Structure formats: C-alpha cells, structure tokens
Amino acid sequence: MPSVYIKTYGCQMNERDSEAVAAQLVAKGYSLAATEKTADVILLNTCSVRDMAEQKAIGKMQNIAADVRKNRPDVVLGFMGCMAQSRGKQLIDQLPDVDLVIGTQKFHRTADYLDEIIQGKRAKIVDVAAEQGSEATIKEHILFGKTTTKAITAFVSIMQGCNQYCTFCIVPYTRGEERSRTIPDVVAECRQLVAGGVREITLLGQIVTSYGKRDIPIKDGKSAFVQLLEAVHEIEGLERIRFTSPHPKGYGDDLVEAYGRLPKLCESAHLPVQSGSDRLLKLMHRGYNRERFSGIIEKLRKVQPGMGITTDIIVGFPGETEADFEETMSLSRAIRFDNAYIFKYSPRRDTPAASMPDQVPQDILEARHARLLELINGIAAKGYDERIGRTEQILVEGESKKGPRRMTGRTRCNKIVLFDGSERHRGQLMDVKITHTGSFTLYGDPAIVNLD
C-alpha cells in the first residue's frame, strides 16, 4: 500500500482535519511517511486566513512538484482545506502537477479519491462542493493506530463554519455556514478518546460559542454550548476541557459562570479582540465594543482570578489611524493579555474590507506591528516571571523537543512547563514548582505539595 505525507498549515482545526485524513488512510492500509521525500502521496492541508499562508503552501507545492516531476513521476499531489476550497480548479491550472483538490466539506472522501487516481480511473479530481452532514464526518483519530506513544490530549471538532462575516475574514467563504454536531455524537467521540488514554480534550470550531444555536434550545438559561460543556464534563476519566475559538459575544453569563462551576474546564480563554478601537470594531463587524469586551474579561477574572487570557489582534485594518492604533495599545495595557497573536492585515478576496478605502501602507503596518509586539511581549514576560516560586498543576503531554529527559506539560492556564522527567510521567497530573522562565515557557521542578 502507498505511503502518505500530510503537511498542515494554519489553525488547530486544520491539524485536526489532517489527523482525521491520516487516520482514514491508515485504516485503508496506507503507511505514514516520515518525510515528503519518501511519500507516494503528498497532501498539503492549507490555510487562507492571510495571503502569506497561501503563498507558503503554493511555494511548497511548486518545490515538491519540480522534484517529483524529475525523479518520481508517479507520486500523487493534492491540496486540501481552506485554500483548496476557495481556489478550487484554479490551483490545477496554476500547478498542473497537482492531481487532487479537496475542499473543507470533503475530507472524508480523500481515500476514495486517491484510489481513483492511483488506479488510473481519473487523472484529476477537484471536489469543493458543499455536503450536508459533513460536520459530523471528522471523527477518526490516529491515537490508537500505529503510533508508538499514546496521545494525552486530543482535539474534537464540534461545529464547522461561521456566520459572523467579520469584514476582514475569509473563513465564512472557506468553511461555509455554521453547522453543529449533536451533543451525543460529540460525547461519544470524547468517551472513546478517554477510553484510549486521552485526559484532556479541546473542543474545536471556527466559532464554538455559536455551537448548536439553531438546533438545541436554551435550557435553564444555558446555551447549547454550555450544555455541551456539561455533557463532556460528565465523562469519567477526562481531566481537562478546553475549547477554541470562541467569539467574545458568545461569553454570556452562563459561560462565564461555567468556569466557576465545572472543575474540568481549564481557566484559560483565547478571546480574539482584533482591535481596541470602537470605530474599527464596528467596521470589522465584530458585534461588541471595547467596554463590552473589557466587561467580559472582568467577569471572567472575578470567577477565576488566575485565568489565562490570550487574544488575536489585527494591525493595519483599512482606515486604522494612529489614534485607533493607540486604542489597541491602551486596551492591551489595561487587560494585560498573557499572550497575543498579532496579525498584519491582509486583504482577502471577496471580503468587504479588501475594498474599503484608506488601506494602510506597508511601512506603517510594519511599524505598528513591531510596537504592539514589543508591548505584548513585555507584559507577557512579566506575567510569566510572576509565576516563579508558585506551584502549578500540569498535565504531562510527553517529551519536549529538547530530548527524552525533558518533559513538557501545560498548566491549567495553558502555559507550557518544561521539567526534567521521564516517560513514566506522561499522562500524569502533577504539581511542579516554577523555578525560572524562558520565552513563553516556564521551567518547573516536580514539587511535593504542602512540604515547602
């Protein structure tokens, strides 16, 4: 049977989709190639959020295609995911060596399409159609397959698509309308993962706080998403629950209150703010203002004072003035994010912002990016330093990249902790004392609680 290599760009949802495709192919007898150099099938799972992500994947495919054409002409090449969805056949016109283009609602068809191509039944396949029920097809995990080490954490996709239509964002066009899986379906997948040794689950979706909105009625004041969190929380043996990405407007009191009530729900939230300027938030179509956003953070910190809060910020949205940018700087100072992903605005096809007036020149965009990054990094470093001397509970995920005696885990607030340990710690919840910090990393010493 052939071997496959999948390279993933972009978000956790893409990682999860790639994993599900890999699992699907392994179940059919494929092996997983360690590098693209030895693979019979090479798939790039792509991201469209910014132009740079698209250019990277296209550049990579050009290199692979040049090599394959010369040395291994039978290798099958494919694009999957968001860029495949939004560019479709155009990708094959541009890169004629590509055999397969699979959109975001067709991952489950990958094995069948590869069969057809490998058997010579069809030369090229492009499938970017919508498919009803496709949100429930990303189910298979590779955790129990041929891997030697068991995974401790896992992603579970709970919904697909987004109806928010932020004016800068391509996602509603690449991932489609919001569609949610049912609560029993999600819980069954989580149960199976826990039975296989998983102790932490991250629920995934483009806008998870909109989960089940249309299908599952509010019950006792609780949204469908909070009902799902409660159902997953019931699973015995599961230790931790996280989710990403929520939308700030989905942080009703029911969700805020869940952080105080559900002990498995980790005290961490990735809450994309995008801008601190009310004027820009409106132009972005975000559905909240600065005051509302700050209010949510305040409420969360009241329920869980040590909450880890991270965000996404776009600099250089069309029309962003120095005053608007200063508002983002001041909001960042006021909230003191634990970390922020700062994106330079990138015009995306079909989005309203791409044709808005006053696009920000590149040099200003770069300068603002650098200023904000410095501010965010400074605040974050202080936050990390403040943890020195504290004891934190971590879930040990496995070896760090630095070698087998250095293990890695994460605190409940989602900060990475490295410590000297061994394989026997994998999967354990343990207390470590924080001894020093590195860049966005804590170093810990296994602690015996109540002894110091």
- Name which of residues 331 to 360 contact ligand 5AD (CB under 6 A): 343, 345-346, 348
Return the number of the residue (164 or 192) whose C-beta is nearest ligand 5AD: 164
Q: Of 110 and 351, which CB lies nearer to ligand 5AD in the complex structure?
A: 351
The backbone torsions φ and ψ at residue 347, rounded to the nearest 5 degrees and listed phi first, read -65, 130
Nearer to ligand 5AD, 191 or 249 (CB): 249
Residue from 113, 168, 251, 337 binding ligand 5AD (CB under 6 A): 168
Out of 39, 49, 80, 156, name the contact with ligand 5AD by CB under 6 A: 49
Q: How many CA atoms lie within 13 A of 379 on its CB side?
A: 20
Q: Which is nearer to ligand 5AD, 273 or 430 (CB)?
A: 273
What is the footprint of ligand 5AD within residues 421-450 (CB under 6 A)? none
By C-beta, is 174 or 223 nearer to ligand 5AD? 174
The footprint of ligand 5AD on residues 171-190 (CB under 6 A) is: none
Q: Please, which residue, 42 or 297, has the CB nearer to ligand 5AD? A: 297
For residue 260, the minimal CB distance to ligand 5AD (Å) is 26
Whole-angstrom distance, CA of residue 380 vs CA of residue 364: 24
Residue 243 amino acid letter:
F
- The residue (of 304 and 346) whose beta carbon lies closer to ligand 5AD is 346
CB of 313 to ligand 5AD, least distance (A): 7
Closest separation in Å from C-beta 371 to ligand 5AD = 17
Least CB distance from residue 407 to ligand 5AD, whole Å? 30
String of contacts with ligand 5AD for each residue 231-270, x by CB under 6 A: ----------------------------------------
**Residue 311 Cβ vs ligand 5AD, minimum distance, rounded to whole Å:** 8
Rule CB under 6 A: say whether 156 interacts with ligand 5AD: no
Least distance in angstroms from the C-beta of 318 to ligand 5AD: 10
CB 258 within 8 A of CB 265: yes
| Closer residue to ligand 5AD in complex, CB, 247/415 | 247
Question: Among 212, 272, 276, 421, which residue interacts with ligand 5AD (rule: CB under 6 A)?
Answer: 272
Minimum CB separation of residue 201 from ligand 5AD in Å reads 21
Give whichever of 330 and 359 is closer to ligand 5AD, judged by the CB atom.
Answer: 359
Write out the binding residues for ligand 5AD, residues 281-340 only, by CB under 6 A: 312, 314
Q: With CB under 6 A, what is the number of residues at the site for ligand 5AD?
A: 12
- Classify each residue of 230-252 as buried b or exposed e, where b means 16 or more C-beta atoms within 10 Å of its C-beta: bebeebeebbbbbbbbbbbbbbb
Note the residues at the interface with ligand 5AD (CB under 6 A): 49-50, 168-169, 272, 274, 312, 314, 343, 345-346, 348
